[in-house]
Structure 1
Amino acid sequence: MVRGGKEPQQAAPTRRRGAELEEAILRAAAEVLKESGVPALTMDEVARRAGTNKNALYRRWPNRVALGVAAYRRLAGEQTAPPDTGSLRGDVLEMLRRANSTWSSPYGAILRGLIAAAGSTPELLAGLRDPAGGAHEAAWLTLLGRAVARGEAAPEALHPRVAYAPMALLRNEYVMLGVPTVPDAVLAEIVDEVFLPLVHGRGSHGGTSVFHGPHQS
């Protein structure tokens, strides 16, 4: 029994705004993704968990897929330093193995579900291509830059499209073929049959490769 016959007063909820409210929404959306996947991600459910209304969500994201992409980027925010095995082949293979491990995990299932939901919307697909906001691409450029410094690659090879080619090929295995995981032999094939020849080809001058001797046409 409450003394004095008075019910305890509850503090009025603090009205959240700006970054605080956005963080609460993203945290709620990330929880839904981790617990139940992309199909369960609805504006109603996220608003309920975040303790707000759907209007607050729609003011920031036009639909559930855009919100899902933002939440996934939040989940993928923690990055590890790029490997340094001492060789370009070793570094690239380790990066692909890390990505393969992630994509074949529950987080990978979330990513594949969001890619499917995004359809052909360029801005959504761009957000999923490098969810850490450029950190992944920077890591690949770091690996290629080290190779240039070691003399394994010519400076002409240091190009973002060249650096990110292995990840694009790995992603294609998941998106186009729908595989649950990619065998390690395929990762090695991506490195040895596609990426390294591409890198070395960028170092060819006047028909002579700086890595393989006379160029064979």
Structure 2
Amino acid sequence: MSRRRGERLEQAILDVAWDLLTRVGYARLTMEAVAAEAGTSRPVIHRRWPTRASLALAALEHAAPAETEAPDTGTLRTDLLALMGQVAHRLGTVHGEVLAGIVAETARDPDATHALRTRMATTAQGHVVATIVQRAVDRGEIPTIRLPERVAKLPFDLIRNEVVLYGNPPGQEVIAEIVHSIILPSILQASATETGAA
């Protein structure tokens, strides 16, 4: 059998890492186990992913990209509820377990902190909320708005916070409370500010 190299080897390693994550969880994932099942060596893996956290996050992106499509239900409120439901569902799977595991490591491992921050920076997905808000503007639900970046990231940040603090994604009641009490008011406040400045 020919020896795998380059991209083929990377794909094989990520496939194995994802399979192990789904079978044994992040806490029991080891570089040695990945190397053994992928038919390679630990140094080979370390050259590409120097830490368990970076490997787990790469496997997560490889197997289940974090990109979320903007729901189009017909109203701003129901779009936001649907989006939060999608994100909560994803974080109720191995995504959330990996995230919680890496967060637990950050207290003692600067590399895990860096890997997690890099992942969050590249998957903030504020553009999804911006798309939802722009559709609401186009429908005439709200005035034209310059959506602050921090507001655009709120749905993702708040659900991640629930997973990290409580170990589980929020249910429908909590999602509704977050949307009605935090996200919608923040968007409407930004809209009012924009209108007042016009």
TM-score between the two structures when normalised by the length of structure 2: 0.84
What secondary structure sits across from 1:140 in the alignment?
A: helix
- Aligned-pair Cα RMSD in Å: 2.7
Alpha-carbon displacement from aligned partner over 1:173-209 (angstroms, at most 9, x marks no partner) = 1212x24342322111111111111111112249959
Alignment map for 1:27-66 (pairs within 5 Å): 27-66=15-54
C-alpha displacement at 1:78, in angstroms?
7.2
User: Residue in 1 aligned with 2:159?
Assistant: 170
User: Residue in 1 aligned with 2:191?
Assistant: 203
1:117 aligns with 2:105: yes
Closer/same/farther in 2, CA of residues 122 and 141 from structure 1, 3 Å limit? farther
Distance 1:106 1:59 in 2: 25
Bigger drift between 21-30 and 166-175 goes to 166-175
Q: Structure 2: which amino acid aligns with 1:192?
A: H
User: Residue in 1 aligned with 2:147?
Assistant: 158
Question: CA contact under 8 A between 2:81 and 2:176: conserved in structure 1?
Answer: yes
Question: Which of 16, 22, 29 is matched with 2:10 structurally?
Answer: 22
Closer/same/farther in 2, CA of residues 207 and 61 from structure 1, 3 Å limit? closer
User: Once the two structures are aligned, what percentage of the paired residues are identical?
Assistant: 35
Unaligned segments of structure 1, at least 5 residues: 1-12, 211-217
Alignment map for 1:186-201 (pairs within 5 Å): 186-201=174-189
Question: CA contact under 8 A between 1:162 and 1:199: conserved in structure 2?
Answer: yes
What secondary structure sits across from 2:145 in the alignment?
A: helix
Distance 2:137 2:194 in 1: 20
User: Residue in 1 aligned with 2:90?
Assistant: 102
Q: Structure 2: which amino acid aligns with 1:41?
A: L
Alpha-carbon displacement from aligned partner over 1:138-197 (angstroms, at most 9, x marks no partner) = 322221221222233344343332122122112211212x24342322111111111111
Question: CA contact under 8 A between 2:57 and 2:119: conserved in structure 1?
Answer: yes
C-alpha displacement at 1:122, in angstroms?
4.5
TM-score between the two structures when normalised by the length of structure 1: 0.78
User: Residue in 2 aligned with 1:6?
Assistant: none
Q: Structure 2: which amino acid aligns with 1:14?
A: S
**Which structure dedicates a bigger proportion of its chain to helix?**
2
User: Residue in 2 aligned with 1:72?
Assistant: 60
Alpha-carbon displacement from aligned partner over 1:60-113 (angstroms, at most 9, x marks no partner) = 111111111111112222756321111111001011112222222344223322
Higher relative contact order (CA 8 A, sep 6+): 2
1:92 aligns with 2:86: no
Residues matched between the structures, number: 195
User: Residue in 1 aligned with 2:130?
Assistant: 141
Computing the radius of gyration from Cα coordinates, the structure with the larger value is 1
What secondary structure sits across from 2:18 in the alignment?
A: helix
